[in-house]
Structure 1
Amino acid sequence: MFRRERSIPLRCSAAALCNNLSVLQVHWCVLPFRVLLVLTSHRGIQMYESDGSVMVYWHALDSGDVSPVQAVFARGIASSGHFICVGTWSGRVLVFDIPAKGPNIVLSEELAGHQTSVTDIATEPAQGQDCMADMVTADDSGLLCVWRSGPEFKLMTQIPGFGVPCPSVQLWHGTVAAGYGDGQVRLYEASTGTLHVQISAHARAICALDLAPEVGKLLSAAEDTFVHIWKLSRSPKSGHTEVEHCHAECVPDTQVCGARFCDPAGSSFAVTGYDLAEILRFSSV
């Protein structure tokens, strides 16, 4: 069970910020030797020191021959080893090689697996296995691409979409958890793309998934005002992923637009809503 804690007040809602139509995502990327704060927008990709005090890298987006009516943006951020991966409107994933210190960041590779805009990227440690799939990318068509990171990233498998966007994706112990615009959560085997579980989790589009890796808890939040928490596990007999529903929290009169766990054990989580001037907090009891 979870109970509502004291909220974190904001000076104004996210919808009232002057740059709310420009900044799409902000993410702390934890690398083996440093932590960077990465920001994506319609203009480009910015990387800062972890406290936001110094910008160490700026990558402008090249619109090229894009039609004036097509939006140009970067969306989807994740780190894998000493690389930071960022998705783009064109479907390409930019891979940046990050040095141990300093601003000498290099665009080392562009991954081509998507035909529509990237929505999200998730990674997990490869655990020393050469054939381990340790990164998954999602796009507006619902297509998932599973990759193996390294000096050269390799596309392991593609999981077809269903014509519904996949706004959020997570990766846990070789299992891909994907949340879709029709409110469903699907769990796939990362290495093969085999569907293990399909859950009609929400009545409206899912806006966020998050994982508590220490305990295998999965959080899903959607525009139906609900946040659900699920427990993932592996069947000792079949080896397939199994799911148990643990908790449901309704945030009334709020269009939920983001949610995530506050710690790796999943003992608390936070929720944000459109035009809401506070961050809602919940903790286990």
Structure 2
Amino acid sequence: MYEKVKVINLKGSVAPQPKNLQVVSFDSNWKEVYIGASRKDTFMAVCPNNVPDAQEVTAVYKTKEKEHVTISSAKWCPMESCTVLVLGSQHGIQIYDWNGANIILDYDFTSNEIKKDEKEIIGFQARGIAAIGSSYLAVGLHTGEIVMFCIELQQENYICNFIGKFKNHVDYITELASSTTQAGKFLASGDSNGIICVWKEVAGQLVHHVKIQDWQGFPVTTITIWNRYKDGLLIVGYGNGMIRMFDLNTGKLVSEITAHCAWITGMDLASSSGLLLTCSEDGYVRVWQLSLKGPLIEHWYSQPIPDSLLMGAKFLDPNGSTFCLSSFDSSEIQVYRM
């Protein structure tokens, strides 16, 4: 099974946010791969492999006349012509080129008239980031809205256009995930009350498709989509440690498991092998095997991580042979390999 093989050090420690660990690869054999996480106003990333010209990435969310910026969500989004780094905060959304060197778009909440959430329970924040298809980008907001952009790289110039705002949540959005299946390009959104909405991208717009609201009460913390299962399998982690799987097209519950005994804080899917990686505040990392024959999901591996409040888990290759973990208030990224 998996064994710890090395530790990668970031420039700073990791903030206490679910899915606070991101990975991007720039080659097919996953040699030039970068691992990143955020703390306060800074997103930090390093390449764990011996790659010539590898960079240390440091992206700082910059604002004018505003203090105490906190990144609430960060993600690399591979598009058709480029890869962008998206940072969300309590002040807005900023889109950079992949290494944070140049800002492409600054979407400020105040100037774009984004107000407090309807229940006025939390402050402003952007949570959940997903690339849809080849050029669209979606970000979830505290208002229950999803804002959508179109991003293209023409020669050396980025073209970024605001598409619109789409709403079908009352509570604030906590997570987004997207995938392309035989039935189309889908986006799934989850909120703080456990409600899930499935959207389809149609002619550059989000069209609401299915609403799943039978399991309210615990927030959605992680979402991923397995597009090899029929019309797509929606895999959702919750604040109570449950994992539920739904048919992406119909919203029907397919399977559920008690995966952890605390908040699920990280989830990733190895697209080639069907391995599902999860981590939780209970201090455990687990790997599950998804299958199209026999049981849909089976427990495959479990490991306690001592003295760690886990904040993120990511595979480092599409087969799932290597994964990494981040922990709150630690700069160490732990790497495990078969």
TM-score normalised by structure 2 residue count: 0.77
Separation of aligned partners in 1, 2:311 and 2:270: 19
Percent identity (aligned) = 29
User: Quick check: 103-112 or 254-263, which moved more?
Assistant: 103-112
Residue aligning to 2:265 = 207
Per the TM alignment, residue 64 of structure 1 is displaced from its structure 2 partner at its CA by: 5.0
1:52-106 alpha-carbon deviations (Å, 9 max, x no partner): 2111111011465538874101111110121000000111011101123334311
Aligned counterparts of 1:36 and 1:244: Cα–Cα separation in 2: 35
Q: Please tell me the root mean square deviation across aligned C-alpha atoms, in Å.
A: 2.0
Return the match for 2:252 from 190, 194, 212: 194
Show the 5 A alignment for 1:22-61.
Answer: 22-61=70-109
> Mind listing any 5+ residue stretches in structure 2 that lack a counterpart?
16-37, 43-68
- Structure 2 SS opposite 1:121: strand
2:20 alignment partner in structure 1: none
Alignment of 1:1-285 (within 5 A): 1-15=1-15, 17-19=39-41, 22-62=70-110, 64-66=114-116, 70-81=122-133, 82-101=135-154, 102-126=157-181, 129=182, 131-132=183-184, 134-150=186-202, 151-160=204-213, 161-173=215-227, 174-235=232-293, 242-284=296-338
The answer to whether the 8 A contact 2:224-2:234 is kept is yes
Q: Distance in 1 between matches of 2:171 and 2:334?
A: 33
CA distance in 2 between counterparts of 1:234 and 1:191 reads 17
**Is the deviation greater in 2-11 or in 12-21?**
12-21
256-265 or 57-66: bigger deviation: 57-66
Whether contact under 8 Å (2:39, 2:71) holds in the other structure is no
Q: Assess if the C-alpha contact under 8 Å between 1:133 and 1:190 holds in 2.
A: no
Q: Tell me how many residue pairs correspond in the alignment.
A: 277
C-alpha displacement of 1:208: 1.4
1:139, 1:220 → 2: CA distance?
A: 19
Q: 2:177 touches 2:223 (CA, 8 Å); kept in 1? A: yes
Structure 1, unmatched stretches of 5+, are: none
SS at match of 1:105: strand
Contact 2:39 / 2:70 at 8 angstroms: preserved in 1? Answer: no
Change (3 A) 1:19 1:64: closer
Q: Distance in 2 between matches of 1:66 and 1:142?
A: 20
